[in-house]
Amino acid sequence: MLPRLSKLPRPALARAAARRAYVAPASKPVLELDVKKVGSEIRKRGLTNAIANTRDGGMDRDTIIRLLYSLGSRHEVERYLRIFTQSSKAGAGGVLPEAKFAVLKVGGAILTNELEDLALSLSFLNRLGLYPVVLHGAGPQLNEILEAEGVTPDYEDGIRITDAKTLQVARRVFLQENLKLTSALERLGTRARPIPTGVFYADYLDKDKYKLVGKINKVDKAPIEAAIRAGCLPILTSLAETADGQMLNVNADVAAGELAKVLEPMKIVYLNEKGGLFHGVTGKKISAINLDEEYDGLMKESWVKFGTKLKIREIKELLDTLPRTSSVAIISTDMLQKELFTDAGAGTLIRRGYKLYKQPAADAIASTKLREIFTERDPEVASGRKSVAEIFGEMKVTPHTVYGDEPFDVVAVVSHPEGQTPVMTKFLPSRNGVLNKTVDNVFDSIKKDHKRLFWTAQADDENRAWHFERADGSFTRAGRSLFWYGVPDVKQVEKIIEGFESSGRIDRVFLPVGPSTPPHRLAGAAPGNARAFSTSARPSLSAAGNYSFRRGYATEVPRKRVALIGARGYTGQNLVSLIDSHPGLELTHVSSRELAGLPLQGYTKGNVTYSNLSAEDVKKMEENGEVDAWVMALPNGVCKPFVDAIEAAHAKGSQGVIVDLSADYRFENNWTYGLPELYGREEIKQSKRISNPGCYATNSQLLIAPLLPFLDPAQSPTIFGVSGYSGAGTKSGQKDADGRPMTVPKISEADLTGSVRPYALTDHIHEREAGIHLSTLGNPMSVHFIPTVAPWYSGIVSVLNAPLKQDMRASDVTALYEAKYAAEPLVHVQKDAPDVRQVAGKHGWRVGGVQVHSSGKRVVVVGALDNLLKGAATQCMQNLNLALGYDELAGVPKDAY
């Protein structure tokens, strides 16, 4: 009979629990009972040893997941599993997808003192289908052997001076430790591959000073990917070699950072015995550090010095090079699963985050961007109950503070008249702000300033659970919920609310006050994790100095399926790339008559094959709900049968969105014209039929729009546009040497022979398109447009010549563009005329080079964009995102605006 669980030490406890699961008869009820019995102990002690020796078959994946539920809520665990496994399906940059989950750096002391726990943790992750890339050190072991052989370890600036004798011993020790870990994993039935060398290549760091110490100049990921393809965990050392084969020693932390720069994993994990970073004054573990917000202040703390300062600096330098989704966790081995699979975490999580701001309302309301946020998100404004001006006027009467983050993903307003209880009058998060937990950071910033707070939310608010989790108490009246924290006595709550209602600070709907009914706990939430919601006090969240932040990755983004009709051309290829990098969109169908049956290249989320969809096929797919959005990337005059088929299916209740890239529907009243920077976003969000503007037309309208009130109505503006030859599109019928269809431009660089070719000199369709849509912004107008094709691949430069009705200066005109586009992340206003090289391959629009004629009555302005991106594919992605409920720029690389 096994000993009682409560009497066993931690490692024995979990191994005993695991043995019970293995030894017990293979009946499901018995296994479930065992999991429940060990659940409370797992929550206290961690899950490292929940997998024991698997020679008898071991736990299956479902059992392991059920054990994970003991660490946090079922909702948390399943969310993280989806996020991590999706990272294992979404490789980029030529990196094998499975290598993008996590890089784990293991200290040498752990290999000596916690080898079994480490092997169990890694085996656990692998049985969930995850492949952490493990890199280990061996410093303590190396020092022990060197001292036994009479060699005193020598350091300079924290770097081990490595002579030939030291390197000889180091190589032997690394091989031994590498084999020890791989053998421990193999004993657990987890395949592992030792890779002691062949990944890192280096130059001498400083041969005279440090001797045989390397500075990594190249990381070869091929051995890592080969191991994962073979179903093995890659186990690396930090040994490097020069181009001529000389072995060099490299600091393991440095090697882990260089490895992460190549793999771009979601998590970089440093395992240490302490289990995190600790505040030097309070002695408490720091739960999370958001570098963009806290780094400067943190580095000035008196206790942040020596190794701690160096580690934080190195982590910041590393994360600055990685996507914002990446983070660093410093954690002990036995709490690795709790760190990875729960919001609370267990170690120290370090991420970039965003800088937060707070401003007195009187200063903040001058921001054009803030006005736009209120217009788009505030329910009072949306319902017509109040205007933005009314709300801003109220914010000026008594002291208010506006809180938020730099990209305005979250905006909150707190009213705090002197001597009175603060009220959060507005809380306006974007979808991105909720998914990326920015709401938590902004709310924590408010909590630092206000020890007590009241706020309200609609009872049907989709984020209602978020409000409950942050409140000490709440109750609901007349479809509104009132929340508060920091007031433990219900009698005091009643008194405060009476004061609010008499002064008009909240609506008169919340008396009489009574305790709230606890909301239903989310299905599957672990016992003990549900929070009671009542008017009784609960303990405040513990703080570690100034670094107490809520934890967690972004909640999983809802998945939407896209079908691309006409995927052969340049725009279709760019859309494939954007969808591939999108956090929520999945490309399920690509249709091309010529390429039918061939695999789609450049898409890594799954295996997609070109098909030749007919209008009838499209109708059936729409009726069956197989697609959430259709993108028509077809020539002008071709897509109507497909649109008609979808319309016929819509008559039966289907709801697929259509974005048409051709000119076929740009003049239809029942279609939404999708240029969000000029014609607004709300209509696009509500639309199922969106016509994507033309490339020249986009450039022209963005150029003219800020000048509309100042144009001479008697004379039309003229635009001379020059486009790369990709704007002419592709032609069919060409095949390569293997008989595969080729993407061939209709007009090539060779056709132009170093010249330019004007074409369609009058009545170009983009001329009519720009004039008709700009007329909706003011008085009827027309545009004169002259297009030209040039011998570069992509990019448009358009020169606007606009007669003015009044004298203006160049600085006045520039100010118009700056004011018009101040809140637009894809728009760049510059002094000089934009060059096509500034926009080729970029997703934004540039404007500049403003010059006014000596008469003061004629202005020339230059605008530029990539015709395949902002002129087509990127604009399509903006429209798709708005119509499907994503952040407008989801999937668009932020470093390529």
pLDDT per residue as tens digits for the range 351-401: 887 788 899 998 998 888 899 999 999 988 888 888 999 999 989 889 999
H or E stretch covering 799 = strand 796-803
Please name the amino acid found at residue 799: V
Phi, psi of 485 (to 5 degrees): -140, 160
Q: How far apart are CA 667 and CA 766, in angstroms?
A: 11
Q: What is the CA radius of gyration of the chain?
A: 31
Burial label for 385, CB within 10 Å (0-12, 13-18, 19+), is: exposed
Distances, alpha carbon 369 to alpha carbons 176, 382, 411, in Å: 60, 17, 11
Looking at the whole model, is its pTM more than 0.75? no
Phi, psi of 425 (to 5 degrees): -85, -25
Q: State the DSSP code for 873.
A: I
Distances, alpha carbon 705 to alpha carbons 715, 779, 816, in Å: 16, 12, 10
Do 834 and 846 meet the contact criterion of CB atoms below 8 Å apart? Answer: yes
Nearest to 634 by CA among 730, 710, 566, 704: 566
Domain check: are 144 and 265 in the same one? yes
The per-residue pLDDT for 650 is 81
State whether the Cα torsion 198-199-203-205 is positive or negative.
negative
Do 25 and 39 meet the contact criterion of CB atoms below 8 Å apart? Answer: no
Name 453's bridge partners. 485
Q: How far apart are CA 47 and CA 70, in angstroms?
A: 9
Domain check: are 172 and 279 in the same one? yes
Q: What is the secondary structure of 439-485 as a DSSP string?
A: HHHHHHHHHHH-SSEEEEEETT-TTHHHHHHT-SEEEEETTEEEEEE
Q: State the DSSP code for 767.
A: H
Domain check: are 51 and 126 in the same one? yes
Is 21 within a domain?
no
The per-residue pLDDT for 21 is 33
Locate 153 and state its tokens: 């370890």
Is 331 within a domain?
yes
Is 23 within a domain?
no
pLDDT per residue as tens digits for the range 201-225: 999 999 999 999 999 999 999 999 9
Q: State the DSSP code for 170.
A: H
Nearest to 134 by CA among 168, 158, 110: 110
pLDDT per residue as tens digits for the range 174-186: 999 999 999 999 9
Question: Is residue 695 flagged as an active site residue?
Answer: yes
Q: How far apart are CA 688 and CA 678, in angstroms?
A: 19
Name 586's bridge partners. 561
Name 799's bridge partners. 720, 862
Last residue of a domain, one of 435, 469, 503: 503
The per-residue pLDDT for 176 is 95
The per-residue pLDDT for 473 is 85
788 by DSSP, 3-state: which?
strand
Is 883 within a domain?
no
Is 323 within a domain?
yes
Domain check: are 338 and 377 in the same one? no
Domain check: are 69 and 204 in the same one? yes
The per-residue pLDDT for 80 is 67
CB atoms within 10 A of CB 525: 17
Phi, psi of 200 (to 5 degrees): -105, 130
Do 284 and 226 meet the contact criterion of CB atoms below 8 Å apart? Answer: no
Domain check: are 213 and 316 in the same one? yes
Please name the amino acid found at residue 850: V
| Count of H-run helices and E-run strands, the chain | 33, 37
- Residue 317 belongs to domain with CATH number: 3.40.1160.10
Do 252 and 199 meet the contact criterion of CB atoms below 8 Å apart? Answer: no
Count of domains for the chain: 4
Domain check: are 323 and 202 in the same one? yes
Locate 524 and state its tokens: 């599957």
The per-residue pLDDT for 852 is 95
Q: How far apart are CA 165 and CA 163, in angstroms?
A: 6
Locate 766 and state its tokens: 């983009």
Q: How far apart are CA 46 and CA 287, in angstroms?
A: 17
Q: How far apart are CA 67 and CA 34, in angstroms?
A: 10
Q: How far apart are CA 562 and CA 600, in angstroms?
A: 14
H or E stretch covering 228 = helix 222-229
Per annotation, catalytic residue among 232, 639, 695, 876 = 695
Do 851 and 857 meet the contact criterion of CB atoms below 8 Å apart? Answer: no
Locate 746 and state its tokens: 């209709």
CA dihedral of 506, 508, 511, 514, whole degrees rounded to 10: -50
Beta strands 133-136 and 155-156: pairing type?
unpaired
Range of the domain at 302: 43-346
Q: How far apart are CA 22 and CA 441, in angstroms?
A: 44
Q: How far apart are CA 612 and CA 638, in angstroms?
A: 14
Locate 231 and state its tokens: 């179903």
Burial label for 359, CB within 10 Å (0-12, 13-18, 19+), is: middle
Locate 496 and state its tokens: 């405060």
The per-residue pLDDT for 820 is 92
Do 633 and 658 meet the contact criterion of CB atoms below 8 Å apart? Answer: no
629 by DSSP, 3-state: which?
strand
Q: What is the secondary structure of 528-590 as a DSSP string?
A: T-PPP-SSS--PPPP--TT-------PPPPPPEEEEEES-SSHHHHHHHHHHHT-SSEEEEEE
Looking from the CA of 420 toward its CB, the CA atoms found within 13 Å total 19
Q: What is the secondary structure of 388-433 as a DSSP string?
A: HHHHHHHHHHS-EEEEEETT-SEEEEEE--TTS--EEEEEEE-HHH
Distances, alpha carbon 437 to alpha carbons 324, 429, 549, 787, in Å: 13, 10, 10, 47
Is 550 within a domain?
no
Is 813 within a domain?
yes
Last residue of a domain, one of 305, 324, 346: 346
Low-confidence ranges of the chain (pLDDT < 70): 1-80, 82-83, 85-99, 343-344, 432, 435-437, 460, 462-463, 465, 478-479, 507-558, 727-750
Nearest to 802 by CA among 816, 823, 789: 816
Q: How far apart are CA 715 and CA 622, in angstroms?
A: 48
Name 327's bridge partners. 267
Q: How far apart are CA 530 and CA 50, in angstroms?
A: 24
What are the residues whose beta carbons fall under 8 Å from the beta carbon of 74, sequence distance 6 or more? 522, 523, 524, 525, 526
SS in 3 state form for 176-223?
HHHHHHHHHHHHCCCCEEEECCCCEEEEECCHHHHECEEEEEEECCHH
Burial label for 774, CB within 10 Å (0-12, 13-18, 19+), is: buried
Is 32 within a domain?
no
Last residue of a domain, one of 503, 524, 551: 503
Q: How far apart are CA 342 and CA 337, in angstroms?
A: 8
Q: How far apart are CA 200 and CA 235, in angstroms?
A: 13
- Residue 801 belongs to domain with CATH number: 3.30.360.10
Domain check: are 221 and 326 in the same one? yes
Cα angle at 581 between 578 and 587, to 5 degrees?
70
Domain check: are 148 and 291 in the same one? yes
Nearest to 231 by CA among 414, 351, 98: 98
Domain check: are 625 and 732 in the same one? no
Q: How far apart are CA 455 and CA 497, in angstroms?
A: 11
CB atoms within 10 A of CB 407: 18
- Residue 579 belongs to domain with CATH number: 3.40.50.720
Domain check: are 700 and 652 in the same one? no
Q: State the DSSP code for 666.
A: T
Q: How far apart are CA 485 and CA 471, in angstroms?
A: 5
- Residue 460 belongs to domain with CATH number: 3.40.630.30
Q: How far apart are CA 420 and CA 757, in angstroms?
A: 71
Domain check: are 729 and 844 in the same one? yes
Looking from the CA of 867 toward its CB, the CA atoms found within 13 Å total 26
